[in-house]
Amino acid sequence: MTQHPVRTARRAQITLTPARGRLQAIVGGRARRPRRIAMLSVHTSPLHQPGTGDAGGMNVYIVELAKRLAELNVEVEVFTRAVTSDDAPVVELAPGVLVRHVTAGPYEGLLKEDLPAQLCAFTHGVLRTEAGHRPGHYDLVHSHYWLSGQVGWLAAQRWGVPLVHTMHTMAKVKNAALAEGDTPEPAARVIGESQVVEAADRLIANTAEEAGELSHHYSARQDQLAVVHPGVNLDVFRPGDQAAARARLGLPQDAAVLLFAGRIQPLKAPDVLLRAVAVLLEREPGLRDRLVVPIVGGPSGTGLAKPESLHKLSAQLGISDVVRFHPPVGQAELAEWYRAATALVMPSYSESFGLVALEAQACGTPVVAAAVGGLPVAVRDGVTGTLVHGHDPYDWAHALHPYATEPTLVRRQGEAAALHATGFGWGTAAAATADVYAGALHQPVGRLSASRLRLA
């Protein structure tokens, strides 16, 4: 069989220099950062509006990380699935950041659960793009979410480069904390995640707790794990004039505004907020005249099956007069909602980190959040907000009551929240991530690293 000349040359290079990553990665006695990386986001595009469909915190994460990496002279090419025939093959997201749309399956009508069947087509598109460049075009692959990881370990092995992977969420963790009536993650995802962990040279976890979950549930090794806290765009999300924000959004100036912002699905538990509000009003009917509960976001995941469920629930609970539904908004308007809010409420059953908690705090707004996942890192309990254990509406009503009735508490925690958020800039996160890349180039440790070197 005729061999591909580019692949043959590269395989010979790898075979002759088994310490390839180290030889390329050491410059001036220290590990160097990559010149260009392939970043994979199969199921959701960084160009999509967060807050609806499958677009959420991961989209924000990829956009902000890629931009800041480019500022550090690390070029980023993000591969994502084309979902319309109008998607341009290549879009410049920012200087040094390209988004490449890969055709894999029909443009429309595919749910995230349908995408595993399209991974072969997506992988072909990624490999074909790289084959059009000179050997060594990409120094490293960084995949996001398990679907991308499946593509990532094949591409990394083919190109002879390290694989860095960020889970964002994990099936075993989600299944251990399912909302009532929610659908468990399938066994195929658990198997796929285990394969990605086995292949990865580095696994980036948002928190030490997430690193522990990777170790406990997926047998990740310590030499694979790196903890990098996500960041927040401090140029967009910053304190401002609450009165002006409320005027622009049509909210009463004297209202107690308990805001939910995010994808509407059982995992995010907006129903817990509505049930808590019903309890709150039952206990203190006088609050009804000044309580406003905006739900900013769109249906996602299993929430797509019942897009009107929250509207019906608010009617059943008798609180439709205080609940306001709004579609997803861009970052600038979302910052206005945060500034207008008395508190952001996050009753999630599971959160890898909870970027919206950081965004709200950066705007000077305290957060009432479930004590799950990365939220105990994002929110300082009793200082920048309140952490609630469990999802009992009565417990949530008790936690929310001071925010609806004690302006001094809201003001004090809001000031502390803004200060707390300044420690989570994306520049810091990008620099730490670039250092993880350098370490992976210098010393790849994935269980498939040896097989990459033996490609024949």
Q: How confident is the model at residue 300 (pLDDT cuts 50, 70, 90)?
A: low
Q: How far is CA 65 from CA 147, 210, 222, 378, in A?
A: 19, 19, 24, 18
In this prediction, residue 47 carries a pLDDT of 83
In this prediction, residue 25 carries a pLDDT of 45
Domain presence at residue 161? yes
For the stretch 382-402, pLDDT in tens is: 999 999 999 999 999 999 999
- Residues in the annotated binding site for Mg(2+): 338-339, 341, 365
Domain presence at residue 453? no
* Top-confidence range, 11-15, 59-63, 239-243, 448-452: 239-243
DSSP letters spanning 160-190: T--EEEE-SS-HHHHHTTPPTTPPPPPHHHH
For the stretch 345-393, pLDDT in tens is: 999 998 988 899 999 999 999 999 999 999 999 999 999 999 999 999 9
The reply to whether 267 and 127 lie within a common domain is no
pLDDT above 80 (res 438): yes
Q: How confident is the model at residue 455 (pLDDT cuts 50, 70, 90)?
A: very low
For the stretch 218-245, pLDDT in tens is: 999 999 999 999 999 999 999 999 999 9
Q: What is the pTM of this model?
A: 0.83
User: Using alpha carbons only, what angle is made at residue 302 by residues 299 and 304, rounded to the nearest 5 degrees?
Assistant: 40
- Count the residues in the chain: 456
Q: How far is CA 257 from CA 292, 299, 313, in A?
A: 5, 22, 19
Instruction: Check: CB of residue 32 under 8 Å from CB of residue 438.
Output: yes
The reply to whether 225 and 373 lie within a common domain is no
The reply to whether 433 and 411 lie within a common domain is no
Mean pLDDT over all residues of the chain?
88
Instruction: Check: CB of residue 202 under 8 Å from CB of residue 396.
Output: no
The reply to whether 59 and 159 lie within a common domain is yes
The reply to whether 86 and 220 lie within a common domain is yes
Q: Structural domain of residue 222, as residue ranges?
A: 5-231+426-446
Domain presence at residue 280? yes
In this prediction, residue 380 carries a pLDDT of 97
Domain presence at residue 167? yes
Non-local CB neighbours of 104 within 8 Å, separated by 6+ positions: 42, 81, 82, 118, 119, 121, 122, 125
For the stretch 20-41, pLDDT in tens is: 333 344 444 457 899 999 999 9
Domain presence at residue 220? yes
Q: Could you give the number of structural domains in the chain?
A: 2
For residue 197 the two structure tokens come to 């962990």
The reply to whether 370 and 296 lie within a common domain is yes
In this prediction, residue 108 carries a pLDDT of 79
For residue 95 the two structure tokens come to 């200087």
- Residues in the annotated binding site for 1D-myo-inositol 3-phosphate: 43, 54-59, 112, 145, 169, 189
pLDDT above 80 (res 417): yes
The reply to whether 18 and 165 lie within a common domain is yes
Q: What percent of the chain has pLDDT over 90?
A: 73
- Residues in the annotated binding site for UDP-N-acetyl-alpha-D-glucosamine: 49-50, 57, 263, 268, 329, 351, 359
Q: How far is CA 142 from CA 66, 89, 323, 356, in A?
A: 11, 20, 41, 23
pLDDT above 60 (res 65): yes
In this prediction, residue 89 carries a pLDDT of 94
Q: How confident is the model at residue 55 (pLDDT cuts 50, 70, 90)?
A: low
Distance CA 344, CA 400 (A): 10
The reply to whether 28 and 84 lie within a common domain is yes
The reply to whether 90 and 105 lie within a common domain is yes
In this prediction, residue 283 carries a pLDDT of 96
Domain presence at residue 389? yes
CATH number of domain containing 133: 3.40.50.2000
Domain presence at residue 380? yes
The reply to whether 73 and 166 lie within a common domain is yes
15-43 CB burial, b ≥16 within 10 A, e <16: eeeeebbeebbeeeeebbbbebbbbbbbb
For the stretch 136-178, pLDDT in tens is: 999 999 999 999 999 999 999 999 999 999 999 899 998 988 8
- Residues in the annotated binding site: 43, 49-50, 54-59, 112, 145, 169, 189, 263, 268, 329, 338-339, 341, 351, 359, 365
Domain presence at residue 181? yes
pLDDT above 70 (res 445): yes
In this prediction, residue 181 carries a pLDDT of 75
The reply to whether 19 and 165 lie within a common domain is yes
More confident residue, 301 or 278: 278
Q: How confident is the model at residue 447 (pLDDT cuts 50, 70, 90)?
A: confident
The reply to whether 332 and 191 lie within a common domain is no
